[in-house]
Amino acid sequence: MKATEPRADQEGVRQLVLVEGLGAEQVDERLRSACRLADVGHRAVAFYLADMHERGLHAAFGLPSVIAYAVRSLGP
């Protein structure tokens, strides 16, 4: 596979490009970047679950709580 740089979509969200065959330093860099992305993802999930809870949006899905929504819709 040919290496490409991460790019942003129309909403400004960065896309992750997975590349095989990178050197050790590049793999190390990509792993560290992936960990940072995971942290950002967890913050985004927490933000939107809190918003859903505060506004009672879980009811729009016929669920009694945001916890029920998360278990059903987001998985383990």
Write down the domain spans for the chain.
7-74
For the segment 7-34, what is each residue's pLDDT rounded down to a tens digit?
666 666 778 899 999 999 999 999 999 9
- For 3, how many CA atoms within 13 A lie in the half-sphere containing its CB? 7
* CA–CA distance, 48 with 59 (Å, rounded to integer): 15
Task: Give this prediction's pTM.
Answer: 0.69
What length does the chain have?
A: 76
Q: Has residue 2 got a pLDDT over 80? A: no
The chain-wide mean pLDDT, for the chain, equals 88
